[in-house]
Amino acid sequence: MFTTTSPARQQAFLVLCSGGLDSAVALALAARNLRSLNHLTTLAFDYGQKHIKELLCARQLTDHYHGRLILHSLAALADYPGLQKTDSVEMEKEVSWGLMPRTWKPARNIAMLSIAAAALWTYGINIVVGGWHQEDYPGYPDCREEFLEDMEFAMNSGTGHPICIWAPLLDMTKSEIVKLGFELGVPFEKTWSCYMGGDKPCHICDACTRRELAFKALGTTDPLCKSNT
């Protein structure tokens, strides 16, 4: 069943790995709870991102933890970009739990977890791990506990395979996630959060801002920024 707490040591995990900071910490937790790193599988997706930087980082992180990377295309999601600018005016959509941000990609986590269900069934893995967390709640409906519980039920019902969604970071803030990452020895320099591509973070987008504030709250500097100064 759905859990935010650490399960017993497992024979295998499937980790949704975007190459970002949160999924890197979730990956490190999965690696710590594995009986053998040879049974660590990561799942990454090309869904029409503006750049491939995160996918390159997903590969580096998977290699770092001696896992097996599976890369899938979800190119069709590019046809449904979510909220866009019209005549230089920000489109906004009010939902029951808050204001939907332009960065939200509709049904992205539904599509990703559906593919994950197929991979779990195929490889005989029971637990899928992701980096969803509470700071995404205000505008990302598919990062809420209710959504993950519903998806877990659908994945079990639709495959006949016992599947558990493990969301270890769900009740944590970004700074708490960074702190945990340091404790686990996560190679943050191999992660990427910026919405823009390039060789260094833009320091402007929402992802950069939240990431930098999290490191600052701990009295330290993002290793990714140190390596690019």
Please determine, for residue 229, whether its predicted confidence score (pLDDT) is greater than 50. no
Element spanning 194, H or E:
none
Contact partners, residue 153, CB within 8 Å, separation at least 6? none
Return the CATH class of domain 13-81+92-226. alpha beta
Contact 128, 134 (CB under 8 A): no
Please determine, for residue 38, whether its predicted confidence score (pLDDT) is greater than 80. no
pTM of the model: 0.87
Give the span between the Cα atoms of 126 and 36, in whole angstroms.
15
Q: Name the pLDDT band for 206 (thresholds 50, 70, 90).
A: confident
3-class DSSP assignment, residue 106: coil
Boundaries of every domain in the chain: 13-81+92-226
Q: Name the pLDDT band for 133 (thresholds 50, 70, 90).
A: confident
Please determine, for residue 87, whether its predicted confidence score (pLDDT) is greater than 50. no
Question: What's the mean pLDDT when you consider all of the chain?
Answer: 85
Give the span between the Cα atoms of 89 and 92, in whole angstroms.
9
Cα distance between the two ends of the chain? 45
Tokens of 177: 């996630």
Give the span between the Cα atoms of 30 and 127, in whole angstroms.
10
pLDDT tens digits, one per residue of 157-179: 999 999 999 999 999 999 999 99
Identify the CA nearest to 154 among candidates 120, 123, 122, 131: 120
Note the pLDDT of residue 180. Answer: 97
Q: Name the pLDDT band for 2 (thresholds 50, 70, 90).
A: low
Note the pLDDT of residue 88. Answer: 38
